[in-house]
Structure 1
Amino acid sequence: MERLEEERYNLLEMRLEVKKAQNGDLDAFVRLLRRLDSRMYGLAKSIVKRDEDCADAMQETLFKAYKSLNTLKNPEYFTTWIFRILINECSQLLRNRKRAIVMDKLPEPKEVLAPYGGDHQRIDIQEAVDRLDDAPRLVIHLFYYQDLTIKQISDILEISEGAVRSRLHRARGMLAGSLLATD
């Protein structure tokens, strides 16, 4: 019950901040972004993988969001709206990356596993998630790492809730198979 009240308070507070930002309050826009920056970075990283691409996608997202903030009709959808912009920017970066000609491929550095048992499992799960194709990796990230609901994911990805559930189910199956294969 306490968490529900906290979420309602946060939603009201966010609505007020969005309205202030829409009325030209740059500080309100910055406060909104500070609440979401780590979640946005995590989402971008799960899609584009490279830190420099994450920075580019986030910078372009913030620019586009600020420029078109007045087009957001429902302030309570700010998070969904900005995540959608970020996903589009990441997708654009990936499309551009595929068109780029790679001059020389450097080998990826090997990841060292942490010495503690619990950390091994966490790293294995993250590696398994990273190996998923784009669509299942994205729904896993939004659902488990961003704690978004099926409805919110549906809105962000512009697909039906059934499609989100289906992708989550398939992704969980792929993860289970991948993790069982490594044991």
Structure 2
Amino acid sequence: MDSSKDIKTYIKLAKKGDRDAFIRIIESNKASMYRIAVSILNNPQDVEDAFQNTIIKAYEGIIYLKKNEYFKTWLIRILINECNAILRSNHRVIPIEEVESDAKVSTEFSKLELTSAVNSLSEDLRVVTTLFYFEDIPQKDIAKILDIPEGTVRSRLSRARNKLYEILKEK
């Protein structure tokens, strides 16, 4: 994995048109992007479409990125916008009930159980949970990415924690 210093260098090079540098920064953010897209879309084809559209828009727009240190935030914002556009164009409702059944109550939950529980949350709670807990993005940055007040981020995280507790307690 590339260091933070390398990523900053790649961003500078990508802004000057270096395709290889752009590919490297996308590669370093690919796992995060995938997790976020899956948490919003839940459909492999839609995730792939959002991913591709995001990469194209980011490549075309990177020259307009004002502060290089906000690249990941900027990229995630593009991805979320693409996911929302796909949801609007499909006129679909994201399924809420995707919880595993017949699971035992346990204090240690597997990643699969946790992922399933997170995916069962409503979209607004699922997105902030994914960004905060899985991508380690600060609440302040999540508020900027989603264009909502910081207090709303905190309340959604609190509601998500309570719902996750209830869901996982049943398992």
TM bin, normalised by shorter chain, reads 0.7 to 0.9
Partner of 2:115: helix, strand, or coil?
A: helix
Percent identity, please: 41
CA offsets 1:59-95 (integer angstroms, 9 cap, x no match): 0000011111111000000000000000000011111
> 1:26: which partner in 2?
19
**2:49 is matched by which residue type in structure 1?**
D
- Tell which structure's C-alpha radius of gyration is larger: 1
Alignment partners' CA distance in 1, 2:140 and 2:3: 19
Alpha-carbon distance change, 136 to 24 in structure 1, aligned in 2, over 3 angstroms: same
* Distance in 2 between residues matched to 1:48 and 1:38, nearest whole Å: 15
Name structure 1 gaps, 5 residues minimum.
Answer: 1-8, 100-109
Name 1:107's counterpart in structure 2: none
Alignment match of 1:168 (pick from 143, 154, 157): 157
Asked whether 1:84 is paired with 2:77, we answer yes
Q: Residue 54 of structure 1: CA displacement? A: 0.7
- AA paired with 1:49? N
State the aligned residue count: 165
Per the alignment, in what secondary structure is the counterpart of residue 43 of structure 1? helix
| 1:53 and 2:46 matched | yes
Q: 2:61 aligns with which of 63, 68, 74?
A: 68
SS at match of 2:91: helix
Which protein has the bigger helix share?
1
C-alpha distance in 2 between matches for 1:123 and 1:19: 38
Deviations 1:120-175 (A, max 9, x none): 64333222211111000001111111121112212211222221111100111111
User: Using a 3 Å threshold, how does the CA distance of structure 1 residues 112 and 166 change in structure 2: closer, same or farther?
Assistant: closer
1:4 aligned residue = none
Alignment of 1:35-54 (within 5 A): 35-54=28-47
CA RMSD of aligned residues (A): 2.8
Distance in 1 of aligned mates of 2:113 and 2:7: 36
| 1:151 lines up with 2:140 in the alignment | yes
TM-score w.r.t. length of structure 1: 0.80
Partner of 2:166: 177
Aligned to 1:5: none
Contact 1:113–1:123 (Cα < 8 Å) also in 2: no
What residue is the counterpart of 1:6 in the other structure?
none
Unaligned ranges ≥5, structure 2: 93-98
8 Å CA contact retained: 2:139, 2:153: yes
User: How many angstroms apart in 1 are the aligned matches of 2:130 and 2:70?
Assistant: 19
Whole-Å Cα distance in 1 between the matches of residues 126 and 62 of structure 2?
A: 28
Aligned equivalents of 2:3, 2:100: Cα separation in 1: 38
